[in-house]
């Protein structure tokens, strides 16, 4: 596989390093969440012109090395990745959403 993306009128090698922290930097990413994120990214790569070169996770953030075409802006790429992966992960693991919002739901209202 070539590192370049070949289109009819251009050849591109745009790489973006994106880091997505979890809400409030909570330590919620474990092996099952990691696998779900990676599986979802493979589905995204099939539907959009976004190629995931590398995906790395830690307990409180995810690193993506993404290659894409110039037509897609960085904002569009980030929005696509975040919205689809969050929806898939929260649909499969609703307890994770409760864990992220845990202490924030117990705020005092004056």
Domain boundaries, given as residue ranges, for the chain:
5-92
CATH number of the domain located at residue range(s) 5-92 in this protein = 3.30.70.1290
Between the two ends of the chain, the Cα-to-Cα distance in Å is: 60
Question: At a CB cut-off of 8 Å and minimum separation 6, what does 98 contact?
Answer: none
Residues forming a β-bridge with 11: 6
Confidence (pLDDT) at 8: 81
Q: What is the pLDDT of residue 104?
A: 54
Name the nearest CA neighbour of 55 among 40, 65, 42, 70: 65
pLDDT tens readout for residues 49-105 = 999 999 999 999 999 999 998 889 999 999 999 999 999 999 999 888 888 776 555
Q: What sections of 14-93 are H helices per DSSP?
A: 31-47, 74-92
Question: In this predicted structure, what is the pLDDT of residue 97?
Answer: 83
The predicted model scores a pTM of 0.82
């Amino acid at each position: 596989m070539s590192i370049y993306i070949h289109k009819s009128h251009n050849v591109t090698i745009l790489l973006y390093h994106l880091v997505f922290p979890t809400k409030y930097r909570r330590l919620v990413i474990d092996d099952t969440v990691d696998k779900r994120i990676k599986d979802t990214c493979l589905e995204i790569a099939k539907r959009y012109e976004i190629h995931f070169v590398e995906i790395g996770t830690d307990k409180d953030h995810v690193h993506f090395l993404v290659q894409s075409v110039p037509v897609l802006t960085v904002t569009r790429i980030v929005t696509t990745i975040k919205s689809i992966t969050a929806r898939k992960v929260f649909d499969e693991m609703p307890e994770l959403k409760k864990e992220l919002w845990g202490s924030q739901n117990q705020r005092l209202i004056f």
